[in-house]
């Protein structure tokens, strides 16, 4: 039981780190696309 609990917590921590990295990447991509859209809008006007 103990080892199983440790394993699950370890796995959860790993997945959390993965999710954080994934979210950070997505945020950067979103900001980049947002900036690009703004630039395009300015050039159009």
In this predicted structure, what is the pLDDT of residue 3? 58
Q: How confident is the model at residue 2 (pLDDT cuts 50, 70, 90)?
A: low
In this predicted structure, what is the pLDDT of residue 12? 76
What is the reported pTM? 0.45
Using the Cα atoms of residue 36, residue 38, residue 39 and residue 41 in order, give the sign of their dihedral.
Answer: positive
Domain parsing of the chain, residue ranges = 1-45
pLDDT tens, 9-45? 777 788 888 888 888 898 999 888 888 888 777 766 5
Q: How far are the Cα atoms of 3, 34, 35, 37 from residue 43, in angstroms, in the given order?
A: 60, 14, 12, 10
In this predicted structure, what is the pLDDT of residue 34? 85
In this predicted structure, what is the pLDDT of residue 10? 74
């Amino acid at each position: 039981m103990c080892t199983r609990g440790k394993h699950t917590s370890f796995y959860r921590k790993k997945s959390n780190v993965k999710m954080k990295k994934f979210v950070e990447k997505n945020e950067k991509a979103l900001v980049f696309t947002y900036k690009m859209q703004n630039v395009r809008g300015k050039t159009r006007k």
